[in-house]
Structures are given as structure tokens and as C-alpha cells.
Amino acid sequence: MQTWRCIIVEDEPLAAEVLKDYVQQIPFLQLRGVCDDAIYALETLQKEPIDLIFLDIHLPKLKGLDFLKSLKHPPAVIITSAYQEYALQGYEHNVVDYLLKPIEFSRFLMAVNKLKAQQDARTPAAENAASTPARTYFFFNVSKKRVKVYLDEMLYIESLKEYIRITTKGKTILTKFQLGQIEELLARNNFLRVHRSFIVAKDKIDAFTATDVEVGGKLIPIGRSYKELVLRALEQD
């Protein structure tokens, strides 16, 4: 598993502690430093290779976006800010994600999983052909543990208010996530929203009608507002 060496650039001690705790819970992230200003961060980048920066915008001495502009070959960046009005500017610099404070762990996890998915997508085809193709997976927070779930094992995902239940071929897990967040994470990975409460893996659908789909022996309703899109997607296949 690839390890991402990262630094946190944050001048608020409490916010830095929250991010530090989050990073330490992700197996593929390796924290190499916490910098309270961009000048210190620049010194860190010059001393050792860094793969990922968690970057606040309102920093002393040099603002976060000005710091980002100064880097000729910046590593991956995830913005952490209390100000949503800078989001467009952030994305113009090709940041991985823009997290609004206070940051919930589920949203943080979504951002780093997105980073991993982007890296998997950039893997050269020649490298994949030369070895066994890497299986895409995400880590989810389950009872103070980070549980690995492979995308190709997922059958369907059900919304339970603030939680989602992920059903795979061999297990079911419950994790604090919004269905809309997981939908964005899975958008390019063969998953289909069929109901306000359900997302299914298209290639795991065993049968369907105009009103429901069958996945792993479970009948899942097709929502009225999703019907046209779902039927079009399935009939094309």
C-alpha cells in the first residue's frame, strides 16, 4: 500500500490537533510535520519530499493560496478553511478537495479517499498490465477502527439518516456518512443511485423491473424521481 507523506499547515492549535488526530487514524497517511505558518512549511518542503499538504488559507506572514502559487511543483493539496468563498480559487489551483471547518471525520475521510482514487486513476496502463491490477478500496470508520472495503465487493449502500450501511459479498458495515457524500466518491466507479436511500453496484444487479432492482437477493425500490435515469442506464447496458 502506498504511503502519503503529509504536513499540516495550520496556525490554530485546536484545528491543527483535530487534523493531526484524523491523519493518524488513516493507515496510508504518514504525518511528517505540523507547520504554523507557510514559511515554516516551505522550509519543510525543501528538507524532505512531501506528497500531500493540508493547507489553511488564513495564515500569518504568507496566505495559504499565495504560498500555493509560489510552489513550482506543489504536492497534492487539500484546503482546510472556515471560509467557503475561496473554494473556487482553490480549485483553480487543482486542489484535491476543499474542506470547510469544523471538519467532520467522515468528510476528511472522503477527501483522502478521493486522493487515493485519483492516484489509482493515474497509474499507467503499462504498469497495470505488467502486474496484477490494483483493486480500489476505501477505509471507513467503524467503531473506532478503520475498515477496508473493496469497491468490487460492494453490492449496495443504504442511507440510515446520519449513517450508511454498506453491504458487500461477505459483510455489512455501518459507518457515519451521508449518502450524497459516498455517491460523489463512487460516481466514476460503476455505481448507480436508484433511490434517495439506495446506491447499487451496476454490475451486481441480477434483475430489474420498472419499479425495483434485485441485488444479492434483495429487492431494492427504484425511486420515482430516479426511474427515468436508472432505466436508461440499465437498458443501455
pLDDT the model gives residue 140: 85
pLDDT in tens, 187-234: 667 899 999 999 999 999 999 999 999 999 999 999 999 999 899 888
This model's pTM is above 0.85: no
Domains of the chain (ranges; CATH) run: 4-120 (3.40.50.2300), 152-236 (2.40.50.1020)
pLDDT in tens, 49-68: 999 999 999 999 899 999 99
**Could you please report the per-residue DSSP string of the chain?**
---EEEEEE-S-HHHHHHHHHHHHT-TTEEEEEEESSHHHHHHHHHHS--SEEEEESS-SSS-HHHHHHH-SS--EEEEEES-GGGHHHHHHTT-SEEEESSPPHHHHHHHHHHHHHHHHHHS-HHHHHHSPPPPPEEEEEETTEEEEEEGGGEEEEEEETTEEEEEESS-EEEEE--HHHHHHHHTTTTEEEEETTEEEEGGGEEEE-SSEEEETTEEEEPPGGGHHHHHHHHHH-
